[in-house]
Structure 1
Amino acid sequence: MAGTDGFTDFFYLSKDGLRLHARVYGDGDHARTPAVCLPGLTRNVRDFHELALFLSTHPETPRRVIAFDYRGRGASAYDPNWKNYNIVTEAEDILAGIDALGISEAAFIGTSRGGLIIHMLAAMRLSVLKASVFNDIGPVVEAVGLAHIRSYLENASPAATFAQAEQAQRAIHGADFPALSDQDWARMVKAIYRDENGRPVADYDPALVNTVIALDLRQSLPALWERFEALRAVPVMVIRGENTRLLSTGTVAEMEQRHSGMEVITIAGQGHPPMLETGDLPERIARFLAKLDKSPSL
């Protein structure tokens, strides 16, 4: 049963022995496909809290929702070897987690890095993917977007208060997110930072930044079209921020050509990545997932 906050904490071991964390929201109807939420590079389960609550308590289609903390993020253990912070290892960790939860198939909602992990899962265990929602990510990652991410991670300064942390996030991302309200910014900051005696601390292993510093942005990252095409028979939704630097309109157009029936949503006034709890996105995601549900037994 979910706790008073709408979720229960679930811990499990990776194949190399790290203690990893997930949140499990709701019990749902087991005839309905569970949803698995995968966050961005430095992000954690709190990014999905409002969406997970909405989906798990939906009046018509409540379902179980599982949000994962990758190794080195949130409540998961840090890895002593930062080179293990890679999408292949993290995909293996997700498979270990869903196996521990007894999940054979699910709808996956992947924000940024989470979407890259979905591509890995398509190669590792396609059968687990009942549907895929890509939040501002596709088979081609734009170098200009990666350069922006590397710049603000490398130059991040500690904040003494949550108000200062919010000011910093607005300074970095404000031009890309004019649609966000004060409440949205406050919620974003609470998701990014953990509270240590009133002081905000970025909730990830600082060594994780090494993975971005190590990238040679003079060369394009390998495209993942072959793995994306493995999803031809899997329902796909793509959510793109109007002001994103990571997912180009050209890549989205190519995705539509290669995947007949793909649903595309562009979010006005937001950049990378759109906040999934804003506007009508929760209900649109709920309707997309509802198409997957098994007919109730008669």
Structure 2
Amino acid sequence: MTQIDGPESLFVTVADGIRIHAALYGPRDPEQPPVVCLPGLARTGSDFSALAATLAARGRRVIAIDSRGRGRSDRDADPGHYNPTVEMLDVLAVLTALAAEPAVIVGTSRGGILAMLMAAARPSAIAGAVLNDIGPVIERDGLLRIKGYVGKLPAPKDHDAGAAILRGAFGAHFPRLSDADWHAWSQRNWVAEDGGRLVAAYDPAIAQTLAAVGPDTPLLPLWDQFGALATVPVMIIRGALSDILSAQTVSAMKVVKPDLEILEVADQGHAPLLNDAETMNAIAGFVARCRHAPGRA
């Protein structure tokens, strides 16, 4: 492990040789399950830095993972491996390597899909789950919008230009972000190569995972996978302006799981940034209630 900007940094080599990067915050506590943060499709674990620091300050171990092809994890020569099943197995490999099961999963978008798949594949790995703006039904219009920008945003000359690009692309979904917020988003979205040129913090080939999605493509629901979370606490966070997770889907989730905790974040779309005090405090309170896995005393 090496120390980087506060968290510890480590790499876990998974079965096919890809190195998966994880940032570790806070103390290890065998009495409390760690929190594992899984980012969105074209996002990195750095999205959780504020939340991780908040939870770590409350004594919680937090592990923020870069999925393969994102952040500091290795790119994959085969873009076909950028799929939820492979990425779920990567997460399970990291949890095994770190002896981090059971864990409370905080999953944004794609990361929430991985959480549901993990619950179905290895129920003992999950002590609770926060699903950030994702559910068993994904709205087609939002998915097509994501397809329209992943791997397609121009590389900015600097982070001021990056902030302007992001504001143009996402301003309608996040109308109350400040200039500083957009600049910070740019710093998470693009990283400097040797020589200083800014490049996306993910492999652009990840866009191929959405290549087959069209206006008439059937989107398979994940109700069975969501049902696998029946025995653990679950919180759903929805951006009030989301075009991925509908209020109707949240209501249907509540019918399936009556103890579902629901938080709606005002003035944010897909996906809420999880960095405001109210949201972080709500997540911290939820995590504090996820003390043991099913069957544990």
Equivalent in the alignment of 1:78? 75
Deviation at 1:2, TM superposition (A): 8.5
Deviation at 1:236, TM superposition (A): 0.5
Deviation at 1:20, TM superposition (A): 1.3
- Tell me which of 260, 280, 284 is aligned to 1:282: 280
Local SS of the residue matching 2:94? helix
> Which whole-Å CA distance do the structure 2 matches of 1:203 and 1:111 have between them?
17
- 1:205-255 CA-to-partner distances (Å, cap 9, x unmatched) read 111111112323412310000111111111000110011100011110000
Equivalent in the alignment of 1:188? 185
> Which whole-Å CA distance do the structure 1 matches of 2:277 and 2:175 have between them?
14
Local SS of the residue matching 1:240? strand
Equivalent in the alignment of 2:295? none
Aligned ranges 1:90-105 → 2 under 5 Å: 90-105=87-102
For the 8 Å contact 2:234–2:261, the answer to whether it is kept is: yes
- Normalised TM-score (structure 1): 0.94
- 1:175-200 CA-to-partner distances (Å, cap 9, x unmatched) read 11112222222221111111234432
Q: Does 1:164 align with 2:192?
A: no
- Tell me which of 232, 235, 249 is aligned to 1:234: 232
The farther-off stretch of 181-190 and 135-144 is 181-190
Give the counterpart letter for 1:206 in structure 2: P
Aligned ranges 1:25-64 → 2 under 5 Å: 25-58=25-58, 62-64=59-61
**Structure-2 change in CA distance of 1:51 and 1:2 (3 Å):** farther
Consecutive unaligned residues of structure 1, counting only runs of 5 or more, are: none
Which stretches of structure 1, 4 residues or more, deviate above 6 A after TM superposition? none
Give the counterpart letter for 2:145 in structure 1: H
Q: Does 1:214 align with 2:232?
A: no
**Structure-2 change in CA distance of 1:161 and 1:181 (3 Å):** same
- 1:51-72 CA-to-partner distances (Å, cap 9, x unmatched) read 11110112xxx11100111111
> Which whole-Å CA distance do the structure 1 matches of 2:55 and 2:113 have between them?
23
For the 8 Å contact 1:132–1:236, the answer to whether it is kept is: yes
Equivalent in the alignment of 1:136? 133
Identity of aligned residues (%): 41
The farther-off stretch of 266-275 and 180-189 is 180-189
Local SS of the residue matching 1:252? helix
For the 8 Å contact 2:144–2:214, the answer to whether it is kept is: no
Aligned residues: 291
> Which whole-Å CA distance do the structure 2 matches of 1:2 and 1:32 have between them?
24
Equivalent in the alignment of 1:203? 201
Equivalent in the alignment of 1:11? 11
> Which whole-Å CA distance do the structure 2 matches of 1:30 and 1:190 have between them?
34
> Which whole-Å CA distance do the structure 2 matches of 1:153 and 1:3 have between them?
31
Consecutive unaligned residues of structure 2, counting only runs of 5 or more, are: 293-297
Report the RMSD for the aligned CA atoms in angstroms: 1.5
